[in-house]
């Protein structure tokens, strides 16, 4: 699942999703105003500490969960080193790590349908302006369904490659993966039509 909901029932699980979203948004504003690297590093440490009520195992897993961010760290860091502003780069990287860590904690302790319900409530007022809230909620739910499907497909393609090649597939799987995502989209459009009157 995309939503890495933790099986551990933590105090955060009982907080309303809207409150947690507001807290993450507030955190974003606070660290956006901070530019001091030491303060940002402290903020990251604090966010990490807030993982403890979910369990030590989950807190220890945070670096692993943040690891996929390395290409961004490389690009942002490299750019700022080239420009001679390593401090700014470090601050941007720290902000990114803080926000992803906070969002991870939110996802760990919030059921996806609760998030969707909050989303629908928040955006209900915009419905009158023509924002298709129901459709967006449907699209989000389908994204949660299809992200594991596509990552499984990527893994299958990598296996199929390895079954017939000694070399590492790397980027060469991107085209077949993109094509199979398009295929998948076509099939889901059909499945949607098979059970709905409006789509």
Contacts to other proteins by CB under 8 A: 1, 3, 112-113, 141-142, 144-145, 148-149, 152, 187-188, 190-198
Between 75 and 147, whose beta carbon lies closer to other proteins? 147
The CA distance from 139 to 148, in Å, is 15
In this structure, the chain runs to a length of 199
Minimum CB–partner distance for residue 127 and other proteins (Å): 16
Helix axes 86-108, 56-66, angle to 10 degrees: 130
Query: 39: burial class by Cβ within 10 Å (0-12, 13-18, 19+)?
Result: middle
Between 52 and 160, whose beta carbon lies closer to other proteins? 160
Minimum CB–partner distance for residue 161 and other proteins (Å): 21
Between 42 and 191, whose beta carbon lies closer to other proteins? 191
Minimum CB–partner distance for residue 2 and other proteins (Å): 8
Joined together, the tokens standing for residue 121 give 């409530």
Between 175 and 198, whose beta carbon lies closer to other proteins? 198
Q: What 8-state DSSP symbol labels residue 166?
A: S
Minimum CB–partner distance for residue 182 and other proteins (Å): 14
Joined together, the tokens standing for residue 163 give 């079954």
CB 106 within 8 A of CB 94: no
The CA distance from 55 to 10, in Å, is 8
The closest of 199, 178, 177, 181 to 190, measured between CA atoms, is 199
Phi, psi of 130 (to 5 degrees): 100, 10
Between 29 and 196, whose beta carbon lies closer to other proteins? 196
Minimum CB–partner distance for residue 145 and other proteins (Å): 5
Minimum CB–partner distance for residue 66 and other proteins (Å): 24
The CA distance from 153 to 147, in Å, is 10
Between 166 and 197, whose beta carbon lies closer to other proteins? 197
């Amino acid at each position: 699942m995309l939503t890495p909901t933790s099986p551990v029932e933590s105090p955060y699980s009982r907080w309303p999703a809207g409150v947690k979203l507001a807290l993450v948004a507030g955190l974003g504003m606070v660290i956006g105003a901070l530019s001091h690297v030491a303060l940002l590093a402290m903020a990251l440490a604090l966010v990490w500490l807030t993982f403890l009520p979910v369990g030590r195992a989950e807190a220890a897993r945070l670096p692993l969960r943040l690891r996929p961010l390395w290409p961004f760290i490389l690009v942002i860091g490299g750019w700022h080193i080239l420009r001679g502003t390593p401090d700014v780069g470090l601050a941007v990287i720290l902000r990114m790590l803080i926000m992803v860590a906070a969002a991870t904690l939110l996802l760990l302790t919030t059921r996806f349908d609760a998030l969707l319900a909050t989303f629908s409530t928040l955006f209900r007022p915009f419905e009158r302006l023509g924002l298709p809230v129901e459709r967006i909620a449907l699209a989000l739910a389908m994204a949660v369904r299809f992200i594991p499907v596509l990552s499984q497909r990527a893994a299958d393609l990598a296996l199929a490659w390895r079954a017939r090649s000694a070399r590492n597939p790397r980027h060469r799987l991107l085209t077949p993966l993109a094509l199979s995502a398009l295929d998948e989209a076509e099939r889901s459009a059909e499945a949607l039509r098979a059970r709905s009157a409006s789509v």
